[in-house]
């Protein structure tokens, strides 16, 4: 590849980390990636996903009790942070306190009482059951 093309296209297209509408109204991101017409390849989607998951895991590890959870309960935490963002997740003050105390059934009950549970429906039901049981729920 021509060593100057990266610099040329970055200068001419711009580098944007958030989607925007280009001069003809196409949703664009990065260095001129037309999401409306080109989209993302499956490899690109998974690249983004694995980067997001790594960020979520790093955030989860900041809770002192996270490492003590079994894999199924850790997966609940990762799923919730992925869905809610770390700010939204930390709003579950009572739930987080109960998890830290090992009171998983009570934490599951609190999860189901949240506004989030009403928004995500079956996802919340499944994650609460997984928190309660400490085993993967695959339905």
- Please tell me what DSSP assigns to residue 48: H
For residues 104 and 8, give the distance between their C-alpha atoms in angstroms, rounded to a whole number: 55
- Domains of the chain are 5-34 (no CATH), 42-133 (1.10.530.40)
pTM of the complete model: 0.90
Give 72-106 as a DSSP string: HHHHHHHHHHHHHHHHHHHT-HHHHHHHHTT-HHH
- Give the DSSP H/E element, type plus range, for residue 63: none
Query: CA nearest 18: which of 33, 7, 9, 29?
Result: 29
Lookup: tokens for 14: 């711009």
pLDDT at 5: 96
Q: Could you report the per-residue pLDDT of 11-30, keeping only the tens digit for each?
A: 999 999 999 999 999 999 99
Q: 76 with 130: CB under 8 angstroms?
A: yes
User: What pLDDT is stored for residue 1 in this prediction?
Assistant: 82
Instruction: For residue 87, give Cα distances in angstroms to 15, 62, 82, 92, 95.
Output: 27, 13, 11, 10, 14
- For 50-92, how does the pLDDT look when each residue is reduced to its tens digit (9 = 90+)? 999 999 999 999 999 999 999 999 999 999 999 999 999 999 9
């Amino acid at each position: 590849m021509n060593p100057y093309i990266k610099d040329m296209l970055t200068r001419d297209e711009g580098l944007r980390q958030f989607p925007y509408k280009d001069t003809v109204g196409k949703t664009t991101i990065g260095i001129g990636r037309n999401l409306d017409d080109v989209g993302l390849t499956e490899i690109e989607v998974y690249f983004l996903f694995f980067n997001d998951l790594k960020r979520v895991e790093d955030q989860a590890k900041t809770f002192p009790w996270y490492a003590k959870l079994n894999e199924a309960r850790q997966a609940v935490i990762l799923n919730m942070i992925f869905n809610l963002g770390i700010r939204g997740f930390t709003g579950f003050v009572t739930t987080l306190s109960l998890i830290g105390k090992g009171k998983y059934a009570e934490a599951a009950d609190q999860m189901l009482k949240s506004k989030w549970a009403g928004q995500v429906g079956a996802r919340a039901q499944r994650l609460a059951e997984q928190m309660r049981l400490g085993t993967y729920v695959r339905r």
